[in-house]
Chain A
Amino acid sequence: MKIGIPRAGLYYLYFPFWKKFFDELGVEVVVSPKTDKQIMDIGLSTANGEACLPIKIFYGHVNWLRANGANIFLFPQMDIMTNSLKKLGEKSFFCPYFVGMSDVMRAEYPEIEIISPKMAMDDKTIDPESWLELADKFGKNKAEVKSAFEKAQAEHVSFIARMQAEQLMPVEIIDGIKINSSSKDKIAIIGHPYLTYDFHASLNIIGKMIKNGYFVRTMEMITESEKAEAVESLFLQPHNHWFLTNEERMALMAVAKDKDVKGIIYLTPFNCGPDFLMETFVLKDVRKLKPITTISIDEASGEAGLATRIEAFIDVLK
């Protein structure tokens, strides 16, 4: 039995939790490779043309896994998220693509077997209920699955703590590679993890900034205390409900206040639904504090265009 996990979507947020859970149960995990042209092309040709680029790429990874031996697919159902920072409201949600991904994949590929436990979180604590229900599926008893879940939960907490304490990007921890520079000049790249750490889709904007002599701070590296301070200065509507957009808002405000950060690149998939009010609610304010540029990425984005934008932005910073 091989569990297929696409290296796309929320992989860079939750893979350590998922991997630990299945490792503890003795179930083999197969992960699709990093996005390349072939995976992207398959995604573009199979996904709904109106979806954003990260969803199209997700399709590419699923198709790679279909062709390379995965016989069960993990598409967790993203559910209600609560945040300890009460100003953010009682609950927030992922965009409907991630909430309904398992249903969409069942409709697209009815022949594949899917498991879709819920990812509902109270701050960093994942609701165990639907994970414990997987016991029968893997021929384990409740105690074994409970133990696996608890270890996976601890792994998740430790993963978040490491990113913040050691200022590491999730891709550095998951892939065990060092990417960032040791420069004192910092630049922030804030965006959804499925675009930021997909070096093919994002045209390796992180690598380009490192090559230009900057240490890159990303959203996942923002510490709890920075978030708590940042949230106080945000305009928040009564029903502030996008989980990742809230994270972005806090991160943008936090790096705007970080004196070592010289400038901010706000990276967003073209036509991102949850991010559509970012200019109205945050970027306008951030722009008063620090140079910021928005890079919107879709499948037609090209290296030359991005290079010109980056050069111009670096000139501004200097």
Chain B
Amino acid sequence: MRVMFNYFGKKFIELPQLNDKMLRWGEANAPEYSCFPLKAYMGFFKALIDMDVHDFFVYGATTIRSCRYMDLWEGGKKILADKGYDFNIHYWGGFGTMNIFKQFQGIMGKCSKAKIAVGILVYADALYAVDKLNDEANKLRPREVKAGSVDAWLKKWYEKMKKQKKLGKPVKIMNVGLKDLKNIEIDNDREIIKVAFVGDVFKVHEPFFHFDTIKKINKLGLEARQPITFSLFFFGQNPIFFRSDMVKKFKNYQKKAKKYMSSSPTSYLDISIGEVIEDLENGAKGIIHFQSFGCMPDIMFKPILDRIAKDYNVPIMHFMRDTHASDGAYQTRLEAFSDLVKRKSKK
């Protein structure tokens, strides 16, 4: 997003790091039955308004089906408006070309359709590059010899990426970054056990939400991929800005998920199931399901994941995240789960 805003020459305020104070504000002001992500988003809204931000740019707001994400923005806006706070929401969602031009002109100001099309390509370029760097980091982190070296590498190349504004540059930066990986000492003989990490789309991309699960399990000798990446979603189903490898992957996940899911309550559940099955077929020895309190898709997802775990004979851990969940309790459960997975994989 930042790279795209750089391209359009627009000021972009990065979301502040979610913290307990923001969560508490969201919890106190969100409606009683809200799911955990809504409470967190309410905290984000307030923090951004306090930073004098009054225009929010929201991606994907029209593509998720049966989930409260669709209520989140206008609902949050009305709740805050009733409290005297004011802001505008600009949506980017759906696939209709004219609709997308209109959405972009709403926030980027008067600009040609050609400029918008290139802007989206810049976004896609950066998205692909960032996900690729992140994927490499997740593969190498459990095998790094010097603790923290992979994350230092990732941070260095993220920072370089954030300054880009031209089409093609993010991928060039990514390629240089990948070459730079040879400077990190890796122990390829280390025994690492693969597990499937799964959760709703709102949490699995935000380390504060999921208590940095991937890094935590890396330290325990386990590895997991970043689930449901945005680049998979963007390139896998976008009729204009697609990548054939991602379309193939996307369709493959949907195909794998068919055995367990014929319906489509949200746009990501079947992809999540497909990824879990692929991980298990590739030797994953357990499933970590990170749930949001009050999340309806997660509640219906749970028995389906339990069935998959039974069918593949692997342990599964469900962890419920709400505003009171603690990092320490999660760590303890992860350690116990890690012991279980390791013992089971030795049998």
Chain A residues proximal to chain B, CB less than 8 Å? 48, 50-51, 77, 93-97, 99-104, 106-108, 110, 116, 235, 237-239, 241-242, 270-277, 279-281
* Shortest Cβ gap from B191 to chain A (Å): 33
Nearest A residue to B35 via CB reads: A273
What is the CA–CA distance of A39 and B67 in the complex, to the nearest angstrom? 29
Given A102-B262, A104-B304, A108-B303, CB of A280 within 8 Å of CB of B79: yes
Q: Are A280 and B78 closer than 8 Å at their CB atoms?
A: yes
* Shortest Cβ gap from A90 to chain B (Å): 11
* Shortest Cβ gap from A44 to chain B (Å): 15
Known pairs A237-B73, A239-B71. 10 more at Cβ < 8 A? A48-B303, A50-B299, A51-B300, A93-B66, A99-B263, A99-B265, A103-B262, A237-B74, A273-B35, A276-B32
Q: Which residues of chain B in 65-79 are interfacial with respect to chain A, using CB atoms and an 8 Å cutoff?
A: 65-68, 70-71, 73-75, 78-79
What is the CA–CA distance of A106 and B300 in the complex, to the nearest angstrom? 12
On chain A, the residues within 8 Å of B35 by CB distance are 273
On chain B, the residues within 8 Å of A100 by CB distance are 261, 263, 265, 269, 297, 300
Q: Are A273 and B33 closer than 8 Å at their CB atoms?
A: yes
Given A100-B261, A271-B33, CB of A107 within 8 Å of CB of B75: no
Nearest A residue to B295 via CB reads: A273
Q: Are B306 and A107 closer than 8 Å at their CB atoms?
A: yes
On chain A, the residues within 8 Å of B304 by CB distance are 103-104, 107
Q: Are A48 and B302 closer than 8 Å at their CB atoms?
A: yes
Q: Are B261 and A103 closer than 8 Å at their CB atoms?
A: yes
What is the CA–CA distance of A235 and B74 in the complex, to the nearest angstrom? 10
What is the CA–CA distance of A95 and B270 in the complex, to the nearest angstrom? 16
B226 on interface, CB distance cutoff 8 Å: no
Q: Are B261 and A271 closer than 8 Å at their CB atoms?
A: no
Q: Which residues of chain B in 22-76 are interfacial with respect to chain A, using CB atoms and an 8 Å cutoff?
A: 31-35, 38, 61-62, 65-68, 70-71, 73-75
What is the CA–CA distance of A101 and B262 in the complex, to the nearest angstrom? 10
Q: Are A272 and B33 closer than 8 Å at their CB atoms?
A: yes
* Shortest Cβ gap from A232 to chain B (Å): 18
Given A94-B66, A102-B262, A107-B307, CB of A275 within 8 Å of CB of B33: yes
* Shortest Cβ gap from B292 to chain A (Å): 10
Nearest A residue to B291 via CB reads: A50
Chain B residues proximal to chain A, CB less than 8 Å? 31-35, 38, 61-62, 65-68, 70-71, 73-75, 78-79, 82, 91, 260-266, 269, 293-294, 296-297, 299-300, 302-304, 306-307, 320
Q: Tell me the interface secondary structure of chain A in the complex.
A: mixed
On chain A, the residues within 8 Å of B75 by CB distance are 237, 277, 280-281
Nearest B residue to A108 via CB reads: B303
Q: Are B262 and A77 closer than 8 Å at their CB atoms?
A: yes
On chain B, the residues within 8 Å of A270 by CB distance are 33
What is the CA–CA distance of A272 and B307 in the complex, to the nearest angstrom? 25
Q: Are B296 and A116 closer than 8 Å at their CB atoms?
A: no
Q: Are B300 and A237 closer than 8 Å at their CB atoms?
A: no
Q: Which residue of A48, A242, A272 has the most chain B CB atoms within 10 A of its CB atom?
A: A48
Given A96-B66, A280-B82, CB of A107 within 8 Å of CB of B71: no
6 contacts between A and B (CB under 8 A): A51-B299, A96-B300, A103-B300, A241-B70, A242-B71, A277-B71
On chain A, the residues within 8 Å of B65 by CB distance are 93, 99, 241
Q: Are B264 and A99 closer than 8 Å at their CB atoms?
A: yes
On chain B, the residues within 8 Å of A50 by CB distance are 293, 299, 302, 320
Given A110-B307, A273-B33, A273-B35, CB of A281 within 8 Å of CB of B78: yes
What is the CA–CA distance of A101 and B66 in the complex, to the nearest angstrom? 13
Q: Are A104 and B296 closer than 8 Å at their CB atoms?
A: no
Nearest A residue to B307 via CB reads: A107
Q: Which residue of B66, B67, B304 has the most chain A CB atoms within 10 A of its CB atom?
A: B66
Choose among B33, B66, B82 the residue that contacts A95 (Cβ–Cβ < 8 A).
B66
* Shortest Cβ gap from B22 to chain A (Å): 20
Q: Which residue of A238, A275, A276 has the most chain B CB atoms within 10 A of its CB atom?
A: A276
On chain B, the residues within 8 Å of A274 by CB distance are 68
What is the CA–CA distance of A266 and B70 in the complex, to the nearest angstrom? 23
What is the CA–CA distance of A223 and B258 in the complex, to the nearest angstrom? 41
* Shortest Cβ gap from B126 to chain A (Å): 27
Choose among B74, B266, B320 the residue that contacts A96 (Cβ–Cβ < 8 A).
B266
Choose among A235, A239, A272, A275 the residue that contacts B61 (Cβ–Cβ < 8 A).
A239
Q: Are B265 and A277 closer than 8 Å at their CB atoms?
A: no
Q: Are A273 and B31 closer than 8 Å at their CB atoms?
A: no
Given A103-B261, A273-B296, CB of A239 within 8 Å of CB of B31: no
